[in-house]
Structure formats: C-alpha cells, structure tokens
Amino acid sequence: MQSYRVILVILGIAVLAFALQAGLVAFAGYVLVGVCLLSRFLAKRWMENLAVERIVELPPLEAGDTVTVLLKFKNLGTIPLGWALVEELLPETAIRRKRISVVGRRIQVLFLRPLQSKTVKLKITFHARGYYPIGPTLAETGDVFGLHRRHRILTAPSYAMVLPKIVELPSYDFASERPIGEIRLQNLLYEDPTRTAGVRPYQRGDPLQRIHWRATARTGELHSRIYEPTSLAGATVVVDFHKAGFPKRGEPHRSDLVVAAACALAYAVATMNQQVGFASNGRDAAERIRLESLTETNEPTEDQESRTEARERYELLEQNSRLRPVVVETRRGLDQMQMIREALARLEFTDGSTFANMILEIAPRLPKDATVLCVLASVPVESSIALGMLRRQGYAVSCILIGMADDGSDDRAVAMGRLAAEGIRDVRLIDNEQELMLLGDRAAVGMPADYGFATTLA
C-alpha cells in the first residue's frame, strides 16, 4: 500500500510539472515511476521464482547422531535472480545450550541465473534428547534500489526426534509387595487360554477344552493344560514434569536426569520381559506442534464463523492438550520400550496438570500387579498425598528423587518426611549420572542415615 502511495505522489508531481511546462521535472517523474514499477515487478518475480527442496532422512535418532541436510535452491524463472537472503531456521535455545551443533552456513546470499540450482549442505549433530524442528526455510529479496522488500516461507519444517540415552542398571531391587517375574494368580479367570505354559494331571472339574489330548494319549492318563496368567509383575514409570518443580537454575541438567532415570527404569523392566508402562503430566511436543499448525492453517473468515468463536474453540483445544497426560499403557510387548523412549524424547514442561491431578486421573488405569515407580524433582504436599492414596489402594509405590543435592537446604528432608508420612519408605536419591547407574541397588542409593528413618521397606 505504501509503494502505491509513492507512485501516486510521483505521478501527481509529474502531471503538475507537465501542466507547468517543466519538462525536465516531468521527465524525472516519469523515470521514477518506471523505476518503482520495475523494482516492484522484479522483487515479486524473484520471490515467486525461488524454490527450495530440503533433503534429509530423520528416523528416530540417538544422542550424538549427525544428520546431513541438503537444501536445493532453484530459480524457476527465465530472468536472473539478482539476490536472495535465505536462512534455515534452527532452535536458537538448543544451539545456545549446545544441545545441537551445526556445521555449514545456515544463512546464504544467493544469485541464480535462469533455471540455475545451488545446493547448500548442513551437518547437524544432536547431543541431547528432544524434539527439534529443522526449518522452516525463510527467504528475503528485493530490488537493487532497496525500494521494495519481499519475504516468504519456502518450506515447512521437518522434525528430528532424538531418543534419550539408555543407562543400563546392573541390578533391579525395588521394593514391591510382589516378586519380579511370573506370579501365581489366585483367580484363575485371568488365565490366557491362547498361551499354554505346560501340562498337569487332570483335576476334577477341568473343562474338556482344557484337556491336553496328546499328553493324555502318550501317558495313558488325563492331563490338562496350564495357561500363562494375563497379569505379570512389572512397573509403571510415572514422571512429574510440571515446570514449577524445575527452577531455571538447575536446567537442563535436572530435567535430562529425570528423563534418563525414567528411561533406565523402563529398560530394566523391559529386559526382564515384564510388563512396563509410562505416564507423565508433561506435554507431548508433537501434539503441541500439531495443534499450533492447526490453529495457523485454519484462520477463520467471516463466512465460516466469527473470530471470537474460533478463538474460544482453539483455546479449549489448547487447554485440553495441556491437561491431557502422556500415557503408554502398561503391558508386555516388544515395542513397549520403543514407545516409552519416543514419549520421553518428545516430553516437555507443562504448566497445566499437576502431578497429584495426573495420579487421580490415571489411577484407575494402573494395573495393581505393577510397581509404581515415581520419578520426581520435587514433592509438594499434594503429590505425597496422591502417592499415599495409591499405596492405601494396594499399589506398591517407590520414589526416585532427582537433583535434591544435600547443599544445606531443607528440600531433601522435607520431601523425605512427606513421603514417609504417607507410608512410602522405598525412596532413592539421584544427583548425577554416576549415581543413576546404581539406581537399581537399594543398598547403594538411598537416604542418608542422619535423617533418622530407613529408606527401604521393613
């Protein structure tokens, strides 16, 4: 709009000069109008003719992996592209904290002849878990006189999911009211008839479909099948990721240690072929990005609905997303550990649901045969009460406190006291990765003796 006003002013001056028979001024006005129109035309065509293709393979990555990103810029037009400033955006916070590093020039000034292409190569190394956007690719161009500027987003971003590192625990010795391994169920209704565990002599009352006819024919006596139980001992790893428990002073060390501890616990249970699950009040970064893109691409118009109604609808979606826990159901399977690692990779802080509210929501979905392993960075009163409620309902509850170093503050003592008041005695203290490697050993990681009460079950 502003450029149109400039052109109208110049035309007005040229017409006035022509009326006053000032030929030189009129000629200068005509030249300026021509230059403005040509500049506007070139800036528009240069931006429209510039295209880019991002070539990158992004399977789930491990910390330390490097990916190669190729950006192929091309001038699709038949006129030369005078200049274009292009930039491949990357999260500046991650670069500043050295969670990712880049080799190559992310910002380039391009000059392209008609139908010419140019490839820009970047190597990105991911040093820590996370869900990182690569892109979008931005471009800026304009005329040589600087009268017009054009901006454009050339490509949508791609996303790299970096899985958390797995720390192998040499032992797994967590307090539980049930043994780790196969357990004998008192209620035979929970047997799985599709999984035969063995045979036993026939007992009065066994149904015909339970009889193992091959064993009966081989031995000459009736034998019945023994089925595997559908419930197995295992664990549900529950992580508190509410940002109120993670002061900026200790970040990102504390949150990374929380994720590493949760991943190590889940891996230890999964390698024993037991059921394992995961739950957290954190937010799924992929879900947040999907919701943001949905909001951006569905801008309301007057014909569809009022802007007020649209804004209320998106705010409701946003609120529901912030309050919805991230859950991987507790069960046994080859893909359970991978699903938990991916959920931990995408996990980010939330200011929505508190840990206590999440426990109340997911408690009906937790199997009582699985130990509840809580990874906490802080223990407010509400959280300890919620865990005490789980214990009184018959769950075996263990807690791992992260980053509560004995620096003279009362945080550690207060947290331990609140948990002990609710009857939760199996509590581990982890301050660094070296202590994390001993997490499964109850004798090696625990509360100091000077706090006056034990950390293990009596």
The CA distance from 251 to 377, in Å, is 12
CB 36 within 8 A of CB 130: no
Each residue's pLDDT tens digit, 364-400:
999 888 899 999 999 999 999 999 999 999 898 999 9
Burial of residue 453 (CB within 10 Å: 0-12, 13-18, 19+) is exposed
**What does the chain come to in residues?**
458
Number of domains in the chain: 4
Terminal Cα distance for the chain, rounded: 78
The single-letter DSSP state of residue 63 is: T
| Same domain as 65, residue 41 | no
* Domain housing 205: 191-229
Those residues with Cβ within 8 angstroms of residue 327's Cβ, 6 or more apart along the chain or in another chain? 277, 278, 279, 362, 365
> Looking at residue 427, which CATH number applies to its domain?
3.40.50.410
Residue 445 is assigned to a structural domain of this protein: yes
One-letter amino acid of 94:
A
Q: Are residues 77 and 200 in the same domain?
A: no
- Whether residue 210 sits in one domain with residue 357: no
Confirm whether 312 is domain-assigned: no
Reference 157, options 69, 234, 236; nearest CA is 69
Residue 302 lies in a domain: no
Q: Tokens 């196969």 label which residue?
A: 182
Residues 43, 56 within the same domain: no
Cβ-contact 230, 271 below 8 angstroms = no
- 3-state class (DSSP) for residue 333: coil
- 53 pairs with which residues across the strands? 72
Q: How far is CA 413 from the centre of its chain?
A: 32
C-alpha span between 135 and 115 (Å, rounded):
24
CA-CA distance, 333 to 328, in Å (whole number)?
12
Phi first, then psi, for residue 73 (nearest 5°) are -90, 140
Select from 127, 145, 163 the last residue of a domain: 163
Q: Looking at the structure, tell me whether residues 41 and 55 fall in a common domain.
A: no
* Residue 168 domain flag: no
Q: Is 7 a residue whose pLDDT tops 50?
A: yes
What pLDDT, on the 0 to 100 scale, is given for residue 306? Answer: 61
* pLDDT one-digit tens code per residue, 214-228: 888 888 889 998 876
What's the CA gap between 47 and 110, in Å, rounded? 12
For residues 328-336, give the mean pLDDT: 89
Q: CB of 200 within 8 A of CB of 227?
A: no
Is there a contact between 401 and 182 (Cβ–Cβ < 8 Å)?
Answer: no
Residues 36 and 129 in one domain: no
Q: Please indicate, yes or no, whether residues 245 and 379 belong to a single structural domain of this protein.
A: yes
Q: In the structure, what pLDDT confidence band is assigned to residue 57 with cuts at 50, 70 and 90? A: very high
For residue 388, which of 363, 352, 407 has the smallest C-alpha distance? Answer: 363
Asked whether residue 65 is domain-assigned, the answer is yes
Helix axes 381-392 and 411-421, enclosed angle (nearest 10): 30
Which CATH number belongs to the domain containing residue 90 in this structure? 2.60.40.10
- HEC states along 180-215? CCCCCCCCHHHEEEEEEEEEEECCCCCCHHHECHHH
Cα 30 from Cα 25, distance rounded (Å): 9
> Distance between CA 3 and CA 39 in Å, rounded?
10
pLDDT at 253 over 80: yes
In a domain, 122, yes or no: yes
- Asked if residue 213 is part of any domain, the answer here is yes
71 exposed, middle or buried (CB, 10 Å; 0-12, 13-18, 19+)? Answer: buried
CA separation for the pair 383, 242 (Å, rounded): 12
Q: CB pairs under 8 A, 24+ apart, for 218-224?
A: 223/199, 224/199, 224/200
Residue 417 inside a domain? The answer is: yes
Q: Using the predicted structure, report yes or no on whether residue 316 has a pLDDT greater than 70.
A: no
Q: How would residue 105 be classed by pLDDT, with cut points 50, 70 and 90?
A: very high
Do 354 and 441 fall into the same domain?
yes
What's the pLDDT score for residue 183?
A: 42
- Residue 390 is given by DSSP the state H
| Claim to verify: residue 269 and residue 408 sit in the same structural domain | yes
Tokens representing 394 are 């018959």
Within a 10 A sphere around the Cβ of 109, how many other Cβ atoms? 11
Q: What pLDDT, on the 0 to 100 scale, is given for residue 190?
A: 43
Lowest mean pLDDT among 22-26, 269-273, 390-394: 22-26
**Torsion sign over Cα 304, 307, 308, 314:** positive
C-alpha dist (Å) from residue 187 to 161, 190, 325: 43, 6, 32
pLDDT given at position 230: 47
Residues 224 and 337 in one domain: no
Judgement on whether residues 30 and 75 belong to the same structural domain of the protein: no
Residue where a domain stops, chosen among 114, 144, 163: 163
The residues near 63 (Cβ < 8 Å, ≥ 6 apart) are 126, 127, 128, 129, 162, 163, 164, 165
φ/ψ of 89, rounded to 5, equals -75, 140
Are residues 437 and 397 located together in one domain of the fold? yes
Q: Which run of H or of E encompasses 308?
A: helix 307-323
Q: Has residue 65 got a pLDDT over 70?
A: yes
* pLDDT tens digit sequence for 138-196: 999 987 766 778 889 999 999 999 999 998 888 776 655 444 444 444 434 345 565 67
| Greatest mean pLDDT among 197-201, 220-224, 293-297 | 220-224
Is 43 a residue whose pLDDT tops 80? yes
